[in-house]
Amino acid sequence: MTEPRIAITRWEDVPGERLQFYWDRVREAGAEAVDGTSVDGAKFDGLVLTGGIDVDPASYGAERHPKVKYMDSRRDEFELDVLRRALDADLPVLAICRGHQLLNVAFGGALLQHIEGDGHRALKEEGMPSQWHIVRLEPASLLSAAYALTEMEVNSRHHQAVVQETQAPDLRCVAVSPDGLVEGVESTRHSWVVGVQWHPERLEPDHLGFAGRSRSLFAAFVAATQNVREAV
């Protein structure tokens, strides 16, 4: 059987982020990485929604917070369209950081547009290193099964978030930060649709074990795409 084709959305340059990380993790997991901007009308077996600039509050009917400065409604519209195609076909989806937030919007939720303080944002230092915190994973979840853990340390590089008050009704919260942010979600209507607020694609060499644990998430995602192909 040929490798599953995974569409990976891409973005404008964002300081401290690397599109290549997503492609490398997908390829390591045994799949073909495909440019997400060129899948119009083409077949793909799974979708990765990547990080990047803020989701436009207009996409969920809200007024823009003064701290929301970098957004692109064209990107929102394109990614929401590709995401809905994947959801309609019940294809596996792994949504990361901004992608996690966009997944919540696609399901009818909204976002906390700005987290007060600097506790979740990348540090304003050379290389823009991540901040870190613990998340609790729901034991009976795809996310916990992928990591084989119920608690782990994750990186943090965001200022918008999903919170309980803004979470979409057909998404289940499966990971929570100590300050109550919804850091992991799963669809209750699809076979394998997972969103994570952290960045599992990053190598983070200063945090031993993070990259190895994160590869297990990409492996579970790619395995889900193979299962879908075999069932067709």
Mean pLDDT of 83-101: 97
pTM: 0.95
Contacts of 179 (CB under 8 A, 6+ apart): 119
Grouping H, G, I as helix, E, B as strand and the rest as coil, residue 87 is helix
Best CA proximity match to 122, nearest among 17, 20, 217: 17
Distance CA 135, CA 153 (A): 6
**If you search the block for the tokens 């003064």, which residue do you land on?**
66
Catalytic residue (one of 79, 183, 186, 201): 201
Q: Please tell me the predicted confidence (pLDDT) of residue 118.
A: 85
Q: How many helices (H) and strands (E) does the chain have?
A: 5, 9
pLDDT on residue 229: 67
Q: Quick check: is 173 catalytic?
A: no
Q: How many residues does the chain have?
A: 232
43-47, 143-147, 206-210, 224-228: the lowest-pLDDT one: 224-228
Residue 125: what pLDDT?
87
Q: Are 115 and 101 in contact (CB under 8 A)?
A: no
Q: Give yes or no: 97 in active site.
A: yes
Out of 3.40.50.880, 1.10.540.10, 3.40.30.10, 1.20.58.1000, the CATH code matching 5-231 is 3.40.50.880
Q: What does the pLDDT average to over 106-121?
A: 94
Residue in 97, 100, 120, 159 annotated catalytic: 97
Q: pLDDT: is 6 or 43 the higher one?
A: 6
Q: Are 229 and 192 in contact (CB under 8 A)?
A: no
- Please answer whether residues 90 and 191 qualify as being in contact, where contact means their C-beta atoms are separated by less than 8 angstroms: yes
Strands 32-35, 46-49: pairing is: unpaired
- Phi then psi for residue 134, to 5 deg, are -85, 145
